[in-house]
Amino acid sequence: MNTANPSAAAIAAEDLRPLKWNERVQRGDFVADGRQGFEPWEGPGGFRADAFVKTIYRRSSRRSAASVKSP
């Protein structure tokens, strides 16, 4: 895992969702690091997720009720 990036160490599986086959990979996505954690995707972006051998994950867009501001 990339220890230089503390935000990557704090990523939990519940916060991520696997990309659909037709979604494009981009910076900010994650791959499993083989030690039950995730590391940031540092490769090229722009290709479809199904073109890569490993599953690529993205932060879930769902926000908790505590993080949503009330008007």
pLDDT of 6 reads 47
Spatial distance between the Cα atoms of 57 and 23, rounded to a whole number of angstroms: 11
pLDDT of 70 reads 53
- What tokens were used for 11? 């990523």
Secondary-structure breakdown of the chain: helix, strand, coil percentages, each rounded to the nearest 5 = 15, 20, 65
Percent of the chain exceeding pLDDT 70 equals 72
pLDDT of 62 reads 64
* Segments in the chain below pLDDT 50: 1-2, 6-9, 65-66
pLDDT of 58 reads 94
| DSSP H/E element including 9 | helix 6-9
Q: Which residues pair with 24 in a beta bridge?
A: 48
Spatial distance between the Cα atoms of 38 and 16, rounded to a whole number of angstroms: 10
**CB atoms inside a 10 Å sphere around CB 4:** 7
Question: What pTM was computed for the model?
Answer: 0.67
